[in-house]
Amino acid sequence: MPIKWSALKVSEAMGMAEEFVNEAAEPLERAKIVAIEARKIVYLPQYVDERLASLKWDIERNLERIKGDIASVRSSIPDGAVEAEREQSKHGAQMSLV
C-alpha cells in the first residue's frame, strides 16, 4: 500500500536537521570542556562542582538524544520509500488510477 506522505521530504528534513545538529556539536563540546576544566578550580564548593558535572552530563545526554531522535525518524520511513519517490519524480508526476 503506497504511503500518502512524502518520505523524500521527511528524509531531506532529517538531513537538514542533522546538519544543524552537527554544526552545534562543536560549540557544545567546547562548553562541555569548559565545564570539565571549571571543576578543577581550587577550593570549588561541592554544590558548584555538582552543577558543573550536571551541565557536562546534560550536554552529552541531550546531544545523544537529539541524534537518536533523528535516527528514529529515519528508521520509521518505510524501506525503499525514499528511493521509490525519487524514481517517480524522475518520470514526472502521474495521477493514480486508484
**Nearest CA to 2 among 73, 76, 85, 74?**
85
Look up residue 61 and give its three cell numbers.
545526554
Name the pLDDT band for 93 (thresholds 50, 70, 90). low
pTM of the model: 0.78
Which residue type is seen at 12? E
Dump pLDDT digits (tens) for 15-59.
999 999 999 999 999 999 999 999 999 999 999 999 999 999 999
Distance CA 7, CA 22 (A): 22
